[in-house]
Structure 1
C-alpha cells in the first residue's frame, strides 16, 4: 500500500470513524429525548380522554343567554378579524363564513384586513364586503398602503381603529378558514366566565385532506399536533402555541403581552409565549372544529414548512432569556416552554429526523466498524412513528409513505431551523400559502391540475435530487459490501427523494 493509501486508512481509523460514532451516539440521545417527549404528551392526552378531562369539565363555560332587562348587552362586544392577501379563490368563503356567525348584530364587528396588491382582487373583496354590509352586517373593509409587518402588521393596525375600542374579545380567521355559525357561542363563554384565560383555540378540520397523498400525509401530522400536542399543553400548564387562526383572544391579554410584533415569521407564537409569561392561561377546545385548507402543491407546502420551522427557532433565539428571567410563571412552566415547547419539538425533532435517518444511517454503511444498535435503528423510530399516527387512525395504512415523506421534509425543516437560530438568509421570509378555495368545490382534478401546470424542469428540486443520488449510492454499496440490511430502508428513502425531487407530489399527481 502506498503512502497515500496508508494516510487514508489512518484518517479513517483515527478521525472519520470516531466522528461517525459520536454522531450516532448524539443522534441516539436526541432520539430518546424525542421519544420520551412524545410518550409524555401521548400519556397526558390519553389521560384527558379516559377521565374526560375536557375544558368543559375544568372551566366554567355556561352559555350566554339573552337578558330581558339589558337585552343584547349580556353579550360582550366581539371583533372578528379576517386578514387577506390576494386571496382570489377563498375571499368569498371566509367573508361569508364570518358574516354568518351567530351573535347579536349590534355586539359584533367583522373586520376584513386586505393587504392585497392585485387591484382586481382588492375590488372583488371590497364588493363582497359591501354586499354583506347591505344585508345588515356590521362589516368593515380596511386596507393599508404598505405591507409592513405582513400579517402581524395588519392585525396590529386593525386594533387601532376607534370602533374597536369597545370590543373585549377578538376572533381571528385566516382567509381559507370557515368557522361554523356557533363558533363564538361555544368559545366566548370560556373567556367570559374565567378572567384568567387569554386564549381559546379551536381545532382545524381540513376540507381537502382526501385530495391527494400529500394532503393525507399533512393531515396525519396536523391531527397529531392538535389532538396530542395542543391538548397536552392545555391540560398540563394551560399553555400552547397559538395557531394564528381559529382562536379567540381576550384583547386585554394581547395588550398586556405587548401587542402584535413582527420580529419573526411566527407572530402568533410570539404573542402566545409573551402572554404565557404574563401568567395568562390558554384553553384548547378540540370539539370545536373550523374548516380550513391544506397546501395542495409541494412548493406551497415547502414555503409553509420553512416559515413554521424557521420562525420558532428564531423566536427561541430572541426569547430564551425572557423566559428564564420571567417572574410571573413557575419554574416548571419555564422548563416546559424552553425544553418541551421549543427544544424537543421544534429543534430536536427536525434535526434528528434529518441527520440520523438521511445522513448518519446511510453514511454508516461505508464504515462496518461503526454499529448502530437495533433498539436505535428499529424500536425507537417505530415507537415514535406509531405515537405520531394516533391522531389519524384512518390513515394508519399510509404510515410508511408518511415516514418517507417526513424524512424528505426534514431536509427543509432542518435547514430552516439553523437559518432561524443563526438569523441568517431567509429568516424573515414570508410567502403566503396559495389556496385553491372555490376550485376544490368543483371537484375537477383537471381544473386544479391546469392551474398548477408547469414545465418539467420548473418542477425539479435539486436538493432532493442530490440526496436521492447520495442515498441510492449508499444503498448500492450496502448491497455489494454491507453486512446488514440497511439498504432496504435506504432504497425506499432514495425513491422518496427522487419522487419529490422530480416534482411528482401534490396536485402534480393529477397532472402527470
Structure 2
C-alpha cells in the first residue's frame, strides 16, 4: 500500500521555497520528497522516507560546481600573484634594490636571513617528527623520552634538540619576550594617558583663543591697525609638481602688503625648474606682491642650510615673525590672522603650529593608513602636549616662529636631518613656549608611493636618535625644571622615538615567530591580539571614517616597524644612512576648491601680456615650452628584500603553529606574513620613480 497523503498539508507545501519533486520508484510505493536547498538531502530524515540515487547525484553535482568555482577563483588570484612576482623578478635589473643602496640595512638583512634559514630547518625537523608520531612539542611541559624509547639516529638528534631548546633557548627567548611585553605595556599606557588628555580637552573645550581685535592701534586718535612685520619662507628643491600652487596660495595671504615679505628659497639643481619658479615669482611680483627669489650656489645643509642662508639676509632684521611652508602646503588666506595674534601680549610664546590636512588622503590604501597616523599625531599628541606642557615637536612647516626665539636658540643648525625638532628642543631649553592650533588647518600631501613614504619615515626616525645623542648633555645641564628634563629624555625621546620601534619590531617580527619553534617560551594571546587591536582602535578615533581599515592599519604598522627599527639603530649609532636627506616625492594633487579658484584667477587675469611685457618673445616661448613639457615619470617595480624575507619567516612560523594547533597565533602570523609579502613586492601605494 502506498503511504497515505494528508491533503491538508498541500497548501503549506506550496508556500515553501522548494519545488515539489515526485520521484517514481520501481516498487509500487511512492515517496514525495521536497528539496529546499542542495544541503537538504543530507539533513536527518524520518526512517519512513528514503533517498533517491538521482537526487543525491544532483545535489553532489551542485556541491561540486560550487567547489570548482571557489577553487577557480582562488587559482585565478594565486596566478595573478605569481604573475606579479614574475614581473618583479624579470624587471629586477631596472630596480634599485632598497636594501642594497649604500649598503643600508645589510646587517639587519643578514640577521633576518639567518632566522629564516634556521626556521626552515627546524620546520623540516618538526614535520618529519610530526608524521613519525613524535608529538612532544605539543605539550609545553616537555617530556624527554628515555634512552630505551629512542627509535633511531634521527630520533636521537630530534630529542637532543628538544632538550637543548628547553634548557637553553627557551629561557633566553622568554626573558626577552617579557622585557618587550613590559615595554609594550608602558608604551600602551602612555598612549592611553594621551587619549585621556585629549578627551579632557574636548570635554572642557580647551583651546587657545584670541581676545578682542589684536591689531587695533593703541594711539590716541585710534586710527588704523597695527600689523606686525611678517616674513614668509617657502623652501623647495626640484618640486616641479607643486611649486606653482604653493606660491599662489602664499601670495594670497590676507595681510597688508607693506607688512609682508615672501621668500621663495629654491635649492633646485634642475635649471628648467629654476626658470619656471623664477617666472612664477616674477608674475606675482608684477601683481604687486612683495616676493623675492633666492637660489644658493653652494647647496649645503639641506633644508636647514637653506633656511639659515635666508635668515642671514640684512633685511630680515626688520621682521618680527617668520612663517614657514613646504612646497606642497597651501595655507588659507586667513592663516596669518589666525596664528600671529596669539603672540600679542604673550612674550614667552615662541611658536604657533597649525594642523595639516591632506588633499590626497583617499587616493589609495597607503594614503588612508598615513591619514590615520597623522590625525592621531595632531589631534592627540600635539594638542595634549601643547595644552599641558607648552612643548611639542615643531612639524617643520605650517608654523609661525618669533624670530627672536629662533635667534636666541641658535638658529637653524645643519647637524641633523630633523632641523625642525632640533630648533624646537633648543627653544624649549631656553624657556620658550609653544601653542598648537587644532582648528587652523593647512592643506598638503602625503606620499602616495611606498618608496617615498619609506624614505620619509627613515628620516623621521633616524634623525631624532641622532639628535638625542647631541642634545642629551644640553638637556641635563639646562636650567629648566627637572620634570621637563624627564619629559624630554624619558617620554619625548626614549619612549616615543626609541622604545616604540624597538619593541614593535622585536616582539611581533622576531620573538613571536621564534616562539612557534620554541613553544616552551609562550606569548599570551592578549599580547598579540587583544591589546594591539584596542590600541589600534584608540589610534583610529581621531579619524572615525577609517574604522573599516583597523585590521590593515595594525598589520601595516607592524610591517613599517622594520624600516623604523633600522632607522632608529642607524641614528643612534650614527651610521651613514642617518645623514641622508631625500625630498619626499610629491604628486601635485589639488582639491576641487583649489581647481575652481585657479580657474577663476585665470579668467580674471586679462592683463597677462602686460605683466610679461618686459620679456622677449623668445623667452616667453621657451617658458611656455618648459611648462608644457611632460614630466618623464618612469613607473618601476621595486623589491624590498628585508620585507620579503620577513614574510617568508612569518609564513614559515604560521605553518609551524598549525602543528601545535594555535589558532590565534596562526591567523596573526598568516595575515602578517601576507602583509609583508605585499609590501615586499611593492603592491601597496603608487609605483613611482
CA distance in 1, matches of 2:212, 2:532: 41
Alignment of 1:8-407 (within 5 A): 8-56=161-209, 62-65=213-216, 74-327=226-479, 329-407=480-558
Aligned-residue offset at 1:421: 0.5
Q: Which runs of 5+ in 1 are unaligned?
A: 444-449
CA contact (8 A) 1:179 1:291 kept: yes
- The CA deviation at 1:378 is 3.0
Displacement of 1:228 in angstroms is: 0.3
Report the secondary structure of 1:74's partner residue: coil
Q: Shift in Å at residue 336 of structure 1?
A: 1.2
TM-score of the two chains, using structure 1 as the length reference: 0.93
Structure 1 residue 55, shift from structure 2 partner: 1.3
Distance in 2 of aligned mates of 1:119 and 1:125: 10
Q: Distance in 1 between matches of 2:683 and 2:544?
A: 26
What is the CA deviation profile of residues 146-166 of structure 1, one whole-angstrom value per residue up to 9, with x for unaligned ones? Answer: 221100000011011112111
Please give the per-residue CA displacement for 1:340-375, whole angstroms capped at 9, x wherever unaligned.
111111111111111111211122111221122333
Greater shift, 29-38 or 431-440, is seen at: 431-440
Whole-angstrom distance in 1 between the partners of 2:213 and 2:511? 54
CA distance, structure 2, for counterparts of residue 67 and residue 196 of structure 1? 22
2:635 equivalent in structure 1: 454
Distance 2:273 2:687 in 1: 26
Say which one has the larger Rg: 2
SS in 2 for 1:46: helix
Q: Secondary structure at the match of 1:286?
A: strand
Which of structure 1's runs of 4+ aligned residues deviate more than 4 A? Answer: 1-7, 59-62, 66-73, 438-443, 450-453
Contact map agreement 1:89 1:437 (CA 8 A) in 2: yes
| d(CA) in 2 for partners of 1:188, 1:354 | 42
1:504 aligns with 2:657: no
* 3-state SS, counterpart of residue 492 of structure 1: helix
2:72 aligned partner: none
Distance 1:452 1:502, change over 3 A: farther
Distance 2:520 2:163 in 1: 14
Question: Cα 1:76–1:29, aligned 2, differ >3 Å: closer, same or farther?
Answer: same
Contact 1:202 / 1:246 at 8 angstroms: preserved in 2? yes
Secondary structure in 2 matching 1:485 = helix
* Alpha carbons 1:362, 1:490 under 8 Å: kept: yes
Distance between the aligned counterparts of 2:232 and 2:161, measured in 1?
66
Using the TM superposition, give the Cα deviation of residue 480 of structure 1 relative to its aligned residue in structure 2, in angstroms: 2.6
CA deviations on 1:191-228 (whole Å, 9 max, x unpaired) are: 12311100000000100001011100000000000000
**How many residues end up aligned between the 2 structures?**
499
- CA gap of 1:453–1:401, structure 2 versus 1, over 3 A, is farther
Q: 2 CA distance for matches of 1:210 and 1:67? A: 48
Q: Aligned equivalents of 2:483 and 2:212: distance in 1? A: 27
| Distance change in 2, residues 1:71/1:505 (3 Å) | farther
The reply on whether 1:485 has 2:664 as its aligned counterpart is yes
Please give the root-mean-square deviation of Cα atoms over the aligned residues, in Å.
2.2
Tell me whether 1:425 sits opposite 2:576 in the alignment.
Answer: yes
Contact 1:365 1:482 in 2 (8 A): no
Give SS of 1:133's match.
Answer: helix
Q: Please report how far the alpha carbon of residue 335 of structure 1 lies from its aligned counterpart in structure 2 after TM superposition.
A: 1.3
Which moved further from structure 2: 409-418 or 12-21?
12-21
Q: Deviations over 1:138-193 (max 9, x none)?
A: 00101101221100000011011112111000000000000000000000011123
Which residue does 2:655 correspond to in 1?
A: 476
Contact 2:359 2:589 (C-alpha < 8 Å) held by counterparts: no
Note if 1:414 corresponds to 2:593: no
Partner of 2:71: none
**Alpha carbons of structure 1 residues 70 and 252: separation in structure 2 relative to 1, 3 Å:** farther
